[in-house]
């Protein structure tokens, strides 16, 4: 039984990945400062202890775990932000030092830390070097530490999401066999999207009150047609909530989903925004296993913040045997074999496990034409955007 604890737990992507692998585990603790994240966790991931703020915890009292995972806040390191790093005025850069303290006190056999890829570049890599030095010196140099930038789209899910992943293995247990997963072919985005309604595809547009997103979608459609392509038949994804001029679109790949794009990017072949189920699949998550416990904008915010399950799962397949936590023969890379995508594509049209009790919106699969392009953020989303001032977009 592998004991696992997570900080900055969000949507518990690590627990989802471990479940997919069918590994026996005991989920010892979660921790998130955001009450809506805690709602999602409580509804979906039964655990022993829920901490509310990792900076206020006495790590000596934390349960011992074999695996510790934290996707710590990216804002102080985001290329879209002020890049204040450890000097972040809101104290978020300090979170890393609390994570370090946690590792020192609990001494898990393995840890995974995740952050935006911008971490590698800021101050010419100074912050990343400082982080790696601290991790390397931990407990007298007890851990072997490796890192790599991995993109979700190179690991079985068509979503362009570059993230920094750092893996530590206690030297006493390290077989020396760990290597980050190699890229695999990117499957078609059609396998992740709901069925196409041909009429909506050609008529759908964001609400006329949402001037910027409407303008961005119209400009993208014109541009794609000019290139001789049919955007209503071929799937282009438009980052329609960006300021005009910066709004980009991509063919067959979801541009990076972030918490500032909680309403979903525009899908030209569907004539509507990406639904929350589609956004889940594009993070490697199975919506039919997931109970929605928060509003749709809050769910969109969480989906923009989370680690991708496919990437974590592929890391775990290699990490658990390398740290003698599981036998290699017991674990399968479901993304490499195509099994995971097959399973996800079968969830299309099936919605979530249980519809949101508190969600005020209709189930997103059955998008009505009038609602399809809704872009006016509801008050909760506006509040959420204020909480994420740097927009984490990289
Ligand atoms: C980039 S997100 C990562 C989410 C998560 N790793 C996942 O896979 O869904 C950062 C998370 O850290 C949480 N967070 C920020 N400061 C925190 C703190 N002091 N204590 C606990 N969680 C914190 C945020 O609420 C957010 O959910």
Q: What is the pTM of this model?
A: 0.88
Which residue's alpha carbon is nearest to atom 3 within ligand 1? 71
Interval 143-159 mean pLDDT: 98
Closest-lying ligand 1 atom to the alpha carbon of residue 6: 6
CATH 3.40.50.150 domain span(s) along the chain = 2-186+304-339
Task: Give yes or no for residue 76 CB within 6 A of ligand 1.
Answer: no
Distance from residue 153's CA to the centre of ligand 1 (Å):
23
Task: Give yes or no for residue 33 CB within 6 A of ligand 1.
Answer: yes
What is the structure's pLDDT at 392? Answer: 39
Closest-lying ligand 1 atom to the alpha carbon of residue 8: 12
Distance from residue 245's CA to the centre of ligand 1 (Å):
31
Which residue's alpha carbon is nearest to atom 24 within ligand 1? 8
Which residue's alpha carbon is nearest to atom 25 within ligand 1? 34
Task: Give yes or no for residue 311 CB within 6 A of ligand 1.
Answer: no
Q: What is the pLDDT of residues 166-207, one digit of tens each?
A: 999 999 999 999 999 999 999 999 999 999 999 998 998 887
Which residue's alpha carbon is nearest to atom 2 within ligand 1? 305
Distance from residue 330's CA to the centre of ligand 1 (Å):
31
Q: What is the pLDDT of residues 209-228, one digit of tens each?
A: 678 999 999 999 999 999 99
What is the structure's pLDDT at 247? Answer: 86
Distance from residue 341's CA to the centre of ligand 1 (Å):
27
Task: Give yes or no for residue 37 CB within 6 A of ligand 1.
Answer: yes
Average pLDDT score, the chain: 87
What is the structure's pLDDT at 377? Answer: 38
What is the structure's pLDDT at 93? Answer: 58
Binning pLDDT at 50, 70 and 90, where does residue 235 land?
very high
Interval 8-18 mean pLDDT: 97
Distance from residue 288's CA to the centre of ligand 1 (Å):
24
Closest-lying ligand 1 atom to the alpha carbon of residue 37: 27
pLDDT beyond 70 at 21: yes
Q: Which CATH class is domain 2-186+304-339?
A: alpha beta
Mutate to test the pocket of ligand 1, among 33, 80, 162, 384 (most ligand atoms within 8 A of CB): 33
Task: Give yes or no for residue 113 CB within 6 A of ligand 1.
Answer: no
Q: What is the pLDDT of residues 86-122, one digit of tens each?
A: 655 555 557 888 999 999 999 999 999 999 998 898 7
Distance from residue 321's CA to the centre of ligand 1 (Å):
28
What is the structure's pLDDT at 245? Answer: 80
Task: Give the 3-state DSSP-derived string for the chain, with helices as H, strands as E and coil as C.
Answer: CEEEEEECCCCCHHHHHHHHHCCCEEEEEEECCCHHHHHHHHHHCCCCEEECCHHHCCHHHCCCCCEEEEECCCHHHCCCCCCCHHHCCCCHHHHHHHHHHHHHHHCCCEEEEEEEHHHHCHHHHHHHHHHHHHHHHHHHHCEEEEEEEEEHHHCCCCECCEEEEEEEEEHHHCCCCCCCCCCCCCCCHHHCCCCCCHHHHHHCCCCCCCHHHHHHHHHHHHHHHHCCCCCCCCCEEECCCCCCCCCCEEECCECCCCHHHCCCCEECCCCEECCHHHHHHCCCCCHHHCECCCCHHHHHHHHHHCCCHHHHHHHHHHHHHHCCCCCHHHCCCHHHHCHHHHHHHCCCCCCCCECCCCCCCCCCCCCCHHHHCCCCCCHHHHHHHHHCCCCCCC
What is the structure's pLDDT at 87? Answer: 59
Q: What is the pLDDT of residues 36-84, one digit of tens each?
A: 999 999 999 988 899 999 999 999 999 999 999 999 886 555 444 445 5
% of the chain surpassing 70 pLDDT:
84
């Amino acid at each position: 039984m592998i004991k696992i604890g997570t900080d900055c737990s969000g949507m518990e992507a690590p627990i989802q990945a471990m479940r997919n692998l069918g590994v026996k585990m005991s989920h010892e603790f979660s921790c998130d400062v955001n009450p809506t994240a805690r709602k999602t966790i409580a509804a979906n991931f039964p655990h022993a202890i829920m901490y509310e703020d990792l900076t206020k915890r006495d790590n000596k009292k934390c349960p011992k775990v074999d695996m510790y995972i934290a996707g710590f806040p990216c804002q102080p390191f985001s290329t879209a932000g002020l890049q204040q790093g450890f000097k972040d005025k809101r104290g978020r850069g300090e979170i890393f030092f609390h994570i370090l303290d946690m590792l020192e006190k609990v001494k898990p056999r393995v840890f995974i830390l995740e952050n935006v890829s911008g971490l590698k570049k800021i101050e010419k890599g100074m912050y990343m070097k400082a982080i790696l030095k601290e991790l390397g010196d931990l407990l007298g140099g007890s851990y072997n530490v490796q890192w790599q930038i991995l993109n979700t789209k190179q690991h079985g899910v068509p979503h362009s999401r570059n993230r920094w992943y750092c893996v530590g293995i206690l030297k006493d247990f390290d077989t020396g066999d760990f290597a980050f997963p190699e890229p695999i072919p990117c499957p078609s985005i059609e396998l992740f999207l709901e069925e196409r309604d041909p009429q909506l595809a050609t008529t759908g547009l964001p609400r006329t009150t949402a001037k910027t997103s409407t303008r961005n979608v119209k400009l993208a459609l014109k541009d794609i047609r000019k290139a001789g392509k049919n955007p209503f038949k071929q799937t282009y994804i438009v980052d329609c909530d960006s300021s005009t001029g910066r709004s980009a679109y991509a063919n067959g790949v979801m541009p990076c989903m972030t918490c500032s794009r909680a309403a979903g990017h525009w899908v030209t072949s569907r004539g509507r925004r990406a639904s929350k189920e589609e956004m889940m699949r594009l993070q490697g998550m199975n919506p039919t296993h997931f109970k929605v416990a928060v509003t749709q904008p809050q769910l969109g915010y969480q989906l923009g913040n989370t680690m991708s399950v496919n990437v974590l799962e592929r890391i775990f397949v290699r990490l658990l045997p390398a740290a003698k936590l599981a036998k290699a023969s017991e674990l399968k890379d479901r993304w490499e074999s195509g099994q995971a995508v097959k399973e996800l594509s079968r969830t299309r049209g099936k919605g979530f496990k249980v519809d949101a009790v508190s969600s005020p919106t209709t189930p997103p699969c059955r998008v009505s034409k009038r609602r399809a392009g809704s872009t006016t953020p509801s008050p909760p989303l506006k509040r959420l955007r204020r909480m994420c001032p740097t927009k984490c977009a990289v």
